[in-house]
A and B are shown apart, each in its own frame.
Chain A
Amino acid sequence: MLSLLETQALVADALRRGGGARVTALLRDANGIAAERRLHVYRNNHVAGLAAALAAVYPVTARLVGDDFFRQLARAYIARHPSTSADLHAFGSLLPAFVGRHESLAALPYLADVAALEWAVHEVYHEADEQTLDVAALAGVAAEAQTRIRLHLQLATRFVASPFPVLAIWRANQAAGDDAVATVSLADGGVHALVARQDFAVEFRVLGAGEDRFLRELAAGRPLAFAVPAALDVDSGFDFASTLARHLALGTFRAWSLADGDEGGVEGTA
């Protein structure tokens, strides 16, 4: 008699890669219905469930390629990158890269970035809740210590950057009916944005080049003394005061801390 381990190995393999005489021999042919037919119900459920999970996370990607193509794409993805968690929300993280490598999708060069945006939206939606930084707390920092301030971003934030207008593409594909799709010109160029959350709703905060660099340095744990010059490096017009005011008002930060004294202005430390 087959052990439990051997039984599960055979059935799991049959569901993922197709059956064979060894697995159908394990099963009863009852009521005149062949074992292979019976296995097929599970195979269908398995693929349909995971494909539905992908479609729920990637509705815009699915719309851009069409439902039929997306089903094929999902099937190929499931075969290549099986689920490794009982939490279905964790499934599908590699779809943007998978889309990017898919040769028949080369005509849609922006698709991988749209998918990456959708995964960022999905992650931000389920991220941890945190307090918003109380601006008043910063007022007590001595003037000479201010350059050592590190601002910690909300956990529910993700950076997206693309040479394509992915936010416009995403927005144009939120409408319910096909007729309502707006035209987006790829000539509109790329975008930097922070995907964040306001009152549990996911929103996009479009970022200037300097602003993007500033927030990324802060997110990497670097103090103002490092983040501000880094932002000025990429954008000489970067305005520290208005950028800080904007993100304090938006609630982009959850906390602050002070870098060690000798850490403040030293390039490359975090």
Chain B
Amino acid sequence: MPLSRSHWLPRPALALCAGIGLRAEHCREFLEADPDVGFVEVHAENYFGRGGLPLHVLGRARRDHALSLHGVGLSIGSTDPLDDAHLQRLAELVARFRPAFVSEHLCWTSHRGTHLHDLLPLPLTAEALAHVVRRVDAVQERLGRTILIENVSSYFEYAHSTIPEPEFLAAVVRQTGCGLLLDVNNVYVSARNHGFDAADYIERIPRDAVFELHLAGHVRRPVPGGEILIDSHSEPVCAEVWALYALALRRFGAVPTLVEWDNDLPPLAVLVGEARKADALLAAFERAPSFEVDDALAA
């Protein structure tokens, strides 16, 4: 049985100020400009090297900013065994950088030892739910802390899925004590790709389960029969996603929010500008109710 969430997962005392994804190309400018952002988020696997400039720069950034370690390759949903070496390296990063959040995706990224580096959707079945619950439990036990699980954007759905995604996520939260990282853009992209109502999806996510929100841009690609939205992280956040974000803040309260931009990177100031837009919306809502706040976790 997992420990109670209040013991495992305090809401970090982050300033109510949106954060940005920190990518290698922006590091130098980030350290020089020192923009006033709420926190920075990095892909954990980009720091699996043994040393050198990336880890040094992350240490510098961490001196002045709270950090979120965002995993993209643990393959929580894969039927492969959990990778001990991966968990070991992740645990070392957690110990060294004391992140406010550690997150991973509701997806699988590897099969029989081959890593596909794609956030592949799971069939949403009772079997997959039991599997994900066991794996989230194991990861939380190994790291000694609660993690956040993020909804992915998807381009197909399985015919044999039986559990709607919001209910699947809610069950994972209920059974493991983990929190959710709700990616508003992913909800929008998936809703458009599969024809469901994004606002309804958000209304079905438990009110107190969301600890972080993601915003990003996507592209629309025409295909025979219509169009597919691609979660490219290469564009500004679109108006529809901003509207959905406001809806999410109304439901979940002002939750730490991160703007992601990974491809066709703009100047850092443009990305910070996107975070400022999120700040303006965050300021209009009450902070999400807090559990025990541990100041040591904040910057």
Contact = CB atoms under 8 A, between A and B. Distances in A.
Contacts of A90: 48
A41 interface: yes
Nearest to B57: A200
A30 B45 contact: no
A4 B111 CA distance: 11
Given A4-B123, A28-B157, A127-B50, A12 B73 contact: no
B52 interface: yes
Interface residues on B, range: 35 or more
Contacts of B125: 1, 4
A116 B256 CA distance: 44
Interface string A124-143: 11111110000000000000
A15 B52 contact: no
Contacts of A21: none
A27 B193 CA distance: 13
A247 interface: no
A107 interface: no
Contacts of B48: 86-87, 89-90
A222 B230 CA distance: 56
Interface string A75-88: 00000001111111
B115 A38 contact: no
Contact of A31 (B73, B77, B115, B195): B195
Among A8, A25, A28, A127: residue with most chain B CB under 10 A: A8
B51 A129 contact: yes
Given A3-B127, A4-B79, A32-B226, A127 B115 contact: no
Given A4-B127, A26-B158, A86 B109 contact: yes
Interface stretch (A44-52, A176-184, A211-219, A232-240): A44-52
A4 B50 contact: no
A189 to B, nearest CB: 31
Given A38-B155, A42-B155, A128-B51, A2 B195 contact: no
A12 B113 contact: no
A156 interface: yes
Nearest to A87: B48
Among B74, B78, B155, B228: residue with most chain A CB under 10 A: B155
Contacts of B55: 129
Interface string B40-73: 0000011011111111100000000000000011
Among A1, A87, A127: residue with most chain B CB under 10 A: A87
A5 interface: yes
A171 B51 CA distance: 25
B1 interface: no
A8 B86 contact: no
Interface string A9-28: 10110011000000001111
6 contacts: A12-B111, A31-B193, A33-B224, A82-B115, A86-B72, A125-B52
Given A12-B111, A31-B195, A42-B156, 18 more contacts: A4-B123, A12-B116, A16-B114, A26-B158, A27-B159, A28-B157, A30-B157, A32-B225, A32-B226, A37-B228, A39-B156, A41-B230, A45-B118, A84-B115, A86-B48, A87-B48, A89-B49, A129-B52
Interface of B: 45-46, 48-56, 72-75, 77-79, 83, 86, 108-118, 120, 122-123, 125, 127-128, 131, 155-160, 193-195, 221, 223-226, 228, 230
